[in-house]
Chain A
């Protein structure tokens, strides 16, 4: 079809507007040509797993069961998930983690972005340094912080004790501190992302608006609050969506440092599903819970996007 179009174009009938139309011609078939290979890959290896996960969530299916029987239970798995105290605790831990981590990252990142935006000498170097945490293997970050937090030999524990804090079993050993300690790790790795995003957002703002506000006698703080911040809103929201989606999938640091403990203090939903699905092999139940998690993620993202689309919010 492509070669015939070329000969068509060479024909005298092809005046300029028609040529243009023909270039865009194709509509759906044209789209299919470009996306088919990618869709094939995604369809087989992503849609299939997702569809299977929806299907099997309506069955009682344990891989450890020698007969491998699948018993239809309808919404049974979903109902037991909602009644399962472990699942409820895991969801609560995840939400607490997301609010804590993403909230701190936003405030810290915003402050850092404002600092970076001052364009003092040496800022370029600081920006380069900030890229490093983003590229690091999360498992390595988790193991490093796990060592830093170690109650007996960890530098963080040591210096906190020197400062007079009573830590008992260390930052990740105390139920009241464990989740917050994992938040610190997330803040360490992902605040630079927030800061760099917001910094680029700030830098792309037209200076005229700031100048105008300054002439009107607005203070630094007022200009930030009434000019920079509203203009930054779309960037902030997208950054929040990205970070929220990822923070809900927290796994590596829980796996490597706490194993969900002490007690259930750090058992986040992704980790609990992993445990049920891949160590107890209760596949149907794990699938139901991961579908519930997906619903939570989609609802949260939709909420953010809704706010983003409000008048004055879209870019």
Chain B
């Protein structure tokens, strides 16, 4: 072995060792969560911690007896899907318009959208709570869908503005010459062209809304509670039960992990888009 190949071999071995440690760090809490969901209560508190054991599914029977898990799941789906649709339907054309009509107004609007994303959630929450109370929308799906949609729509518009800045107009203009209306050109040409961006931004909106806890805690009622509230309830119900908390958590966590994996190309490109196109 020459010095260079030996050094390279050593470098690779070191890289793999570091990667192994990193992956272990990021995976162990997740493995603990999944494992605990299949542990009897006493085992979940064992000292030293147990990593290998006979899995049981009793926790799932218990939580289904104790709380309407499926209803929480349905509420989470309704709110996340509802707010995502609203944010995308309103936000994508807005982002398109901002990109296609550059100028002072467009820049000012884009900046305003960014500021909305910076506003501390509690600052919006109190007035929003009072507003919803006056509209008698507290405890309905609408209150949560609306606030999630508002926060997401500014993000969607901001993101799509950057996305459309990178999509050439030639094809839209061609469509326009062929007798399409302006909106027709958008719907038949610009929208399909930007589909990867739309998928990406819908994914981000969905995950943000699905994972929200603070807004859900204040705006939902008995019938509209979402999964994070169910998780907290399972944790605190009678006695601290890590196993039950873990079991309910899987309902919240597994769908987004699967979505993230399935659409990872979009997900990573979305992260980058947000960063590169400042």
Q: What is A's interface to B at a CB cutoff of 8 Å?
A: 2-3, 5-6, 9-10, 19-20, 23, 26-28, 30-31, 33-35, 37-39, 41-42, 45-46, 48-50, 52-53, 56, 112, 115, 118, 120, 122, 126-141, 143-145, 147-148, 152-153, 155, 158, 162, 188, 192-193, 196-197, 200-201, 204, 234-235, 238-239, 242, 245, 248-249, 251-252, 255-256, 270, 273-274, 277-278, 283, 286-287, 290-291, 293-294, 297-298, 301, 305, 308, 314-315
The one of B113, B124, B272 that contacts A49, using a Cβ cutoff of 8 Å: B124
Contact call A188/B126, Cβ cutoff below 8 A? no
Do the beta carbons of B150 and A256 come within 8 Å of each other?
no
Closest chain A residue to B258, Cβ basis = A135
Contact with A along B93-105 (1 / 0, CB 8 A): 1101110110101
Q: Are B123 and A287 in contact (CB under 8 A)?
A: yes
Select from chain B the residue with minimum beta-carbon distance to A273: B122
A252 to B145 alpha-carbon distance, docked (Å)? 20
Min CB gap A12→B, angstroms: 14
A290–B29 CB distance below 8 A: no
Q: Is B259 part of the binding interface, using a Cβ–Cβ cutoff of 8 Å?
A: yes
Which residues of chain B have C-beta atoms less than 8 A from A118's C-beta? 12, 15
**A295 to chain B: closest CB distance in Å?**
10
Complex CA–CA separation, A145 to B113 (angstroms)? 34
B158-178, CB under 8 A of A: which get 1 and which 0?
000000000000001100110
Whether B96 pairs with A138 at a CB distance below 8 angstroms is no
Interface string of B233-263 (1 = CB under 8 A from A): 0010000001001100100110011011100
Provide the main secondary structure of the chain B interface.
helix
Let me know if B97 and A283 touch, CB within 8 A.
no
> Is the C-beta of B154 less than 8 angstroms from some C-beta in chain A?
yes
With a cutoff of 8 Å between Cβ atoms, the chain A residues found around residue B25 in the complex are: 188
Give chain A residues whose Cβ lies under 8 Å from the Cβ of B259: 135
Contacts of B177 in A (CB 8 A): 9, 19
B210 and A137 within 8 A (CB): yes
CB distance from B256 to the nearest CB of A (A): 4
Task: Closest A residue to B249 by CB, please name it.
Answer: A140
Q: Known contacts A28-B105, A278-B126; is A46 also within 8 Å of B214 by CB?
A: no
